[in-house]
Chains A and B, each alone.
Chain A
Amino acid sequence: MSDPRLEKTDRTNDFAFKIGTVNGTGSASANGLIMQAIFRMGIPCTGKNVFPSNFQGLPTWYEIRVSHEGYSARTPEFDLIVAMNPATYERDIAEVRPGGYLLHDSSWPMAKEFLRDDITFLGVPLGEMCVREFKGARVRILMKNIAYAGALAALLSMDLDVIRGMIQEKFAAKPKLIGSNYKAIELGYDYAMEHFDCPLPIRLQTMDATSDHVLMDGNTSAALGCVFAGATVGAWYPITPSTSLMDAFKRFCERFRKDPETGERSFFIAQAEDELAAAGVVIGAGWAGARAFTPTSGPGVSLMSEFIGLAYYAEIPAVFVDVQRVGPSTGMPTRTQQGDIAAVAYASHGDTKHIALFPANPEESFQMAVEAFDLAERFQSPVFLVQDLDIGMNDWMIPKLRWDDSFVPDRGKVLGAAELEKIQKFYRYMDVDGDGIPYRSLPGVHPKGAYFTRGSGHTSRGTYTEDADEYTEVMDRLSRKIDSAASEVPAPAVRMREGATMSLVTIGSCDEAVREATDILERQGLPVNYMRVRGFPFDTLVREFLDAHELNIVVEQNRDAQLRRLLVNETEVDPARLHSVLDYGGFPMSAAFVAGEVNEHLGRAPEETKVRPAAERPEGAVA
């Protein structure tokens, strides 16, 4: 049985479709055009790029969900699939929801064995039309993409003026291209109008739900956070899916941090020889008083771990942005996962524990990036901003980012020249205020501030030691210090429902799917409370919430239930209260999956039954 939404008669502004193409054929701009057009029509939408670790030839998909209710989690079943890649016809056709549509290039006949009688095949001779109308192989391929966008415009009832306006903006610098793009749009549009019953029941209708919003990915917003927080030093070694974060940082810095007259730049980006060096650069810069960060992914965090321990022990602020991808090892670099939760919490050898922030969407990536620098300097310690590929690289509709000009960064306890001049003697690791946070001095400021920073055993005075008591004193203070951050990291996001006795607990980008699942469950007569953990060490509210429910279902994207383990380990909550729901095949989670898993665990069989994540479905299954 399928999702009851199918039976809903009105599917206006409530459907999902995807476009399957071949990597490297320039489909990204056509897909972006479609997505942006829907957004500009005022309709909530999200785009997810399912791409291979390859530049040319492998299949790639762009999934768009349109939801007037504002749901943005991935849906694993599609009302319409645009199949532009013959190599994935079989799979694409199988994935169309019964009653749905398949748009394909009918320049060549479709193999009989692929045909399904429960879906509608919409053949448009895209290739043929483009060969006829355009010259040159490359142009023809590019225009074919624009032409399917045109066909979609007719089928879904997109606003053509919006599309034309976007083409004009996009090619403002190359007006020659505007004509051919218009032409391609019309080819697809006219053909569809003539041959099909346009628009389809799944269709768009202008709304006014996006005017306060933007379309942005979380790497761009996190980069903006770094710029606005005043980060001056960035170090990195390229790695998917974090690379675009540094690209964005660089772009924004070139714009906002470069003196237009002199060309002088108030930032320094080091493309390091590896992540290990990137970590070192950031720690060196933090030690010398700059706000510094490095974007990376799991493999990078592994390489950085020795340095992370140094920063923890020597108490040096540093911000690490981990854009998680599928591990272990190289894993699946272009797929999403939450597999580094355990790794970042205790990265490095010996007793270490780190402050970590877990944004759920690009808006939070921005806010938490800013917060990360404050926390790093305040607690003089590494801080992790842990997002994932889904947040970092996909287009999310988020409220416009705002900046409060009264913001004053928290630079922590740093003694200036005048303060150092006044004090008798400076001891770097002394707990003067009793809050576990010592005073820091920066090199070059005052002779009295000098101390020898070391990763070897040290006393509270900053001197070398191998003495058990002196070593332990510092280690115990460090533990108090990091634990005290629990109340300073973002508090968990909690939503209580009338009559709920159990809860769903989650983290990061699962947020959308799990929140939507709580709505589905509610409709099915099961109200559940909701908590999303946003920071580590865990706030006391986290334990209180868990204790308030006999059953907490912890939903996350890794095999080993890392969040659940961390919750058990850190809050000492009764593990019997925590049941895991895991989905770690590399795709963003869907609400139907979560609701299905919950029902299965409870032995319920409501109308809306479990939908397995797409990744789990047998390859090429024909429904």
Chain B
Amino acid sequence: MTYIAKPAVRHPGLGANDLGLHMRDYEGTISTLCAGCGHDSVTAAVIQAFYELSIPPHRIAKMSGIGCSAKTPAYFVNEAHGFNGVHGRMPALATGANAANKDLHYIGISGDGDSLSIGLGQFCHAIRRNVNILYVLENNGVYGLTKGQFSACADVGSRSKRGVPNKSEPIDPVALALTLGATFVARGFSGDKQQLLPLLKAGLMHKGFAFLDVISPCVTFNDHVGSTKSYLYTRHHGHELVPVDFVPIRSEISASYEKGSRTSITMHDGSMVRFRKVPEDYDPTDRLSAYEHYRSLQNRGEVVTGLLYLDPGGEDMHDDNATTPTPLAELSHEDLCPGSEQMDALMEEFR
């Protein structure tokens, strides 16, 4: 039997959330990833985000493809349905699930191989379609599960564990998401939970496609000197461009934010993203401005993090489709079947 019971660890200092649930209620089965794997830190932050947002566990849908990263939905929120599909195709599954039931909180966990090689097309098209999901790319520059081959986002000159440099230009998921029209684009680092947590929360509460790239080092295959996705490299080159706080809908807004300034943005449900510091000439609601800043810092070799772009408009693919408010999966046969009278009338048109 491979089912491993999770030891009952209490988190001191964390009481019940608004639903009366504890952090433990948002945990999953025990991780089978390598000790120190960045993905486990992301899992921990995801657990905390759901817990702090007081989302009922069974109203969450966890989607993933294949990879070490794609395994992680098993490691959080046991009481949510999870779907570990096929490699690179989570976006299609998520689109379908969301089409059927738009009222769930969708989180998709992917890897850089899953999203940028085999699944690049699906990733792009899920953005285009504006599926309402928080799409987390646990980015380690390699295919962890198949033992460390370079992924499509490995930087030019980054060295493999055996010392071989990568020569191909990287596909940058953040730049891609910005150009393809993702309505929320952010990057975090698995080694910085404090920064990651509000990004996850804001992404979960965002309506529309929220993209969160998380540098998540693979300690087994890509954490050596010469790698540009290692803990050390990310710490040295990390540039927190737009750090944010997430203010949930029910909290009193007491912090000192200046009216009229671009320092806070209200989301579609009334919750708020507060920018702690934004460069003077930078507008995180302006796609072009975000892109320019991102590219110029990146050209200087910096790993830009933070909430880079946010469209607070709050529309998704169902708004485009004018879908009925009741999720399609919950409509009854009576709601859906035109019935015999309509059939009889219709038949006259085929004569």
Contacts and interface: CB of A to CB of B under 8 A. Distances in A.
Interface stretch (A130-138, A266-274, A329-337, A339-347): A266-274
Contacts of B85: 280, 283-284, 307, 310, 453, 455
Contacts of A282: 96
Interface string B53-95: 0001111010100000000011000111111111001011111
B81 A402 contact: no
Interface stretch (A109-117, A141-149, A226-234, A597-605): A226-234
Interface in A356-411: 400-405, 407-409
B74 A232 contact: no
B86 A268 contact: no
B14 interface: no
Contact of B336 (A230, A461, A463, A470): A230
A435 interface: no
A285 interface: yes
Interface in A257-290: 257, 259, 263-270, 272-274, 276-290
A280 B2 contact: no
Nearest to B332: A230
Nearest to A307: B86
Interface stretch (A15-23, A437-445, A485-493, A566-574): A437-445
A73 B321 CA distance: 42
A290 B98 CA distance: 10
Contacts of B81: 441-444, 449-453
Nearest to B121: A273
A479 to B, nearest CB: 22
B323 interface: yes
Contact of A447 (B79, B96, B346): B79
Grouping DSSP codes into helix (H, G, I), strand (E, B) and loop, the B interface class, with mixed when no group exceeds half, is helix
Given A232-B336, A456-B84, A444 B331 contact: no
B158 to A, nearest CB: 30
B347 interface: yes
B58 A449 contact: yes
B289 interface: no
A270 B129 contact: yes
B351 A444 contact: no
A78 to B, nearest CB: 26
Contacts of A290: 96, 99-101, 328-329
Interface centre among B89, B101, B328, B339, by most chain A C-beta atoms within 10 angstroms, is B328
Given A233-B96, A282-B96, A287-B96, A216 B350 contact: yes
A415 interface: no
B150 to A, nearest CB: 24
Given A266-B331, A307-B86, A233 B78 contact: no
Nearest to B73: A452
A277 B306 CA distance: 31
Contacts of B73: 452
A232 B331 contact: yes
B96 A284 contact: yes
Interface in A162-177: none
B65 to A, nearest CB: 10
Given A270-B96, A280-B95, A281-B99, A464 B61 contact: no
Interface string A27-70: 00000000000011000000000000000000000000000000
A612 interface: no
Given A264-B325, A443-B101, A444-B101, A228 B95 contact: no
A444 to B, nearest CB: 5
Interface residues on B, range: 35 or more
B96 A265 contact: no
Interface centre among A259, A451, A466, A470, by most chain B C-beta atoms within 10 angstroms, is A451
Given A233-B99, A444-B103, A445-B58, A264 B322 contact: yes
Contacts of B101: 288-290, 442-444
A467 interface: yes
Interface string A296-329: 0000000000110010000000000000000000
A403 B329 CA distance: 23
Given A233-B96, A453-B84, A280 B324 contact: no
Contacts of A448: 79
A556 B331 CA distance: 41
Contacts of B351: 39-40, 213-215
B338 interface: yes
Given A272-B92, A277-B122, A456-B84, A284 B347 contact: no
A268 B321 contact: yes
A281 B73 CA distance: 20
Interface in B92-124: 92-101, 103-104, 121-122, 124
Given A281-B92, A449-B81, A452-B82, A270 B99 contact: yes
Contacts of A235: 95-96
A163 to B, nearest CB: 15
B96 A285 contact: yes
B3 A402 contact: no
A408 B84 contact: no
A284 B95 contact: yes
Interface centre among B86, B104, B350, by most chain A C-beta atoms within 10 angstroms, is B350
Interface in B295-351: 318, 321-325, 328-331, 333, 335-340, 342-344, 346-347, 350-351
A106 interface: no
A232 B328 contact: yes
Nearest to A221: B350
B125 interface: yes
B96 A405 contact: no
A292 interface: yes
Nearest to A214: B350
Nearest to A452: B82
Contact of B324 (A266, A279, A452): A266
A445 B330 CA distance: 11
B343 to A, nearest CB: 4
A543 interface: no
Given A287-B97, A289-B329, A404 B340 contact: yes
B113 to A, nearest CB: 16
B17 to A, nearest CB: 15
B91 A287 contact: no
Interface centre among B96, B328, B333, by most chain A C-beta atoms within 10 angstroms, is B96
Contact of A307 (B89, B335, B336, B346): B89
Contacts of B333: 230, 407-409
B58 A455 contact: no
B58 A403 contact: no
Contacts of A447: 56-58, 79
B329 A442 contact: yes
Nearest to B89: A280
B84 A268 contact: no
A256 interface: yes
Contact of A310 (B78, B86, B328, B350): B86
Contacts of A284: 63, 83, 85, 92-100
23 contacts: A224-B346, A230-B336, A233-B99, A256-B338, A264-B324, A264-B325, A270-B95, A270-B129, A283-B85, A286-B96, A290-B100, A403-B337, A408-B333, A443-B97, A444-B61, A444-B81, A448-B79, A452-B84, A453-B83, A455-B84, A459-B2, A463-B3, A467-B2
Interface of A: 39-40, 213-216, 220, 224, 227-230, 232-233, 235, 252, 256-257, 259, 263-270, 272-274, 276-290, 292, 306-307, 310, 400-405, 407-409, 441-456, 459, 461, 463-467, 470
Given A230-B331, A280-B122, A284-B100, 7 more contacts: A266-B323, A288-B98, A288-B329, A307-B89, A408-B333, A441-B81, A453-B85
**Which 6 interchain pairs have the tightest Cβ spacing?**
A280-B92, A284-B96, A290-B100, A289-B329, A443-B81, A284-B93
